[in-house]
Amino acid sequence: MTSSTTQDPVRLGIIGLGTQGGTYARFVADGRVPGMTVGAVADTDPAKAERAAAEFGDVPFFTDHLAMMDSGTVDAVITCVPHYLHPQMGVEAIERGIHVLVEKPAGVHSLQVQRLNAVAAAHPDVTFGVMFNQRSNPLYRRLKEIVEAGEIGRIIRSNWIITTWWRPQGYYEQSAWRATWGGEGGGVLVNQAPHQLDLWQWICGVPRSVFAKVSYGLQRDIAVEDEVTVLADFGEGSTGVFVTAVHDLVGTDRLEIQGDAGKIVVEGSKVATVTRLAEPEREISAGMSAEQVAGLFRGQFDPSELYTTETVEFPSEWGGQHVAVLANFAAAVRGEEDLIAPGAEGLLGVRLANAVHLSSWTGQEVGLDFDETLYLKLLNERIADEALFPQRQGDE
């Protein structure tokens, strides 16, 4: 945990006064984030100055984020900008001794995020977090506790279908950088689903390898992925499936985690059913008599006698999870709490998304220790084909 030299409110600089940046600024300005104030706003669009003045009064406005960082008006910043810029701006802040909360994802490719992590590691006095707001969701925090306590035994299988991201074509036409390899770095994996990729590995562990079937521009006129199916190998016989898409108008959000001594089923990221077996399933299986087995086929077997069921649900407030991460970040800067989502852990989700892309591009199963330079090379080939943005270097 790092600490601030003062217990005054943390002055947060908002980089990018778009939808997300404006939302965070409003949360802070409305007093919903203890120990934090809006210190300044930076946006490359000078017209945003009028909006900033109308909404946040005399808060300083800058058209250059570096000028804001050097102005002495902020103690910390949050990066509400296109994904490729998160690591760069994170580095610029950390090297100036300014605390930073990067938006998700932490970056587009793992090489640039590793550089960010290395700079952060060299400046341990600077607080570095990532906006994984779902980690503050009490439902998922409770499920993580249940899994880590071994209450459902060793995880055998996990499945997550998360297709509640329906986006019409007009969504992608709002900005030239959206749904491009050079501007956004991917589709549903880097825009909509990073929270679920993070929660999946946060609760179930990091996969050893993935094999993916990915569709690019299947139902939308875009270059990047709009539908993804992943088969993951977690080792020791544990597997997982992750399915996501942006063209399912009805949408499904269902997570199942099966252990050898129980099961968790989450519907809509709101309600979880936790089943705990009286003893591990293999022991139940081995202990059944011939008569009980025969009864199974006659419909005389009632498995509910062998487990208990609990429903887990918490009240939800709009924006509450984002506010919780902001408040936790402010407390970490002030030396009062540990981070819910340490910035270094942003690499895990980026690496997982990169492995999924790489598997689909090569048609092969890909380990999470994949060749990162190969990934960047193939990404740059797609950027070159678009001819819209410059190719990327390893640190950008």
Could you state, in order of their start, the residue ranges of all structural domains in the chain?
A: 10-135+319-341, 138-315+349-386
Distances (CA, A) of 84 to 20, 40, 78, 88, 178: 16, 22, 14, 8, 12
pLDDT(33) > 70 = yes
Could you give the CA distance from residue 126 to residue 116 in angstroms, rounded to a whole number?
13
In this structure, are residues 327 and 10 in contact, taking their beta carbons and an 8 Å threshold? no
- CB count, 10 Å around CB of 119? 18
Could you give the CA distance from residue 328 to residue 342 in angstroms, rounded to a whole number?
11
- CB count, 10 Å around CB of 393? 10
Model confidence at 6, pLDDT cuts 50, 70, 90, reads low
pLDDT digits (tens, 9 = 90+) for 314-360: 998 878 999 999 999 999 999 999 999 999 999 999 999 999 999 99
Question: What top-level class would CATH report for the domain 10-135+319-341?
Answer: alpha beta
Could you give the CA distance from residue 234 to residue 219 in angstroms, rounded to a whole number?
31
pLDDT(5) > 70 = no
Question: Which pTM value belongs to this model?
Answer: 0.94
Could you give the CA distance from residue 355 to residue 234 in angstroms, rounded to a whole number?
14
pLDDT digits (tens, 9 = 90+) for 245-265: 999 999 999 999 999 999 999
* Residue that the structure tokens 């509640």 belong to: 164
| Higher pLDDT pick, 4 / 344 | 344
| Domain made up of 138-315+349-386: CATH architecture | 2-Layer Sandwich (3.30)
Question: In sequence order, what are the beta bridge partners of 238?
Answer: 235
The mean of the pLDDT values for the chain is 96
Give the mean model confidence (pLDDT) for residues 117-128. 98
Query: With helix as H, strand as E and coil as C, how does 91-113 read?
Result: HHHHCCCCEEEECCCCCCCHHHH
Could you give the CA distance from residue 218 to residue 229 in angstroms, rounded to a whole number?
13
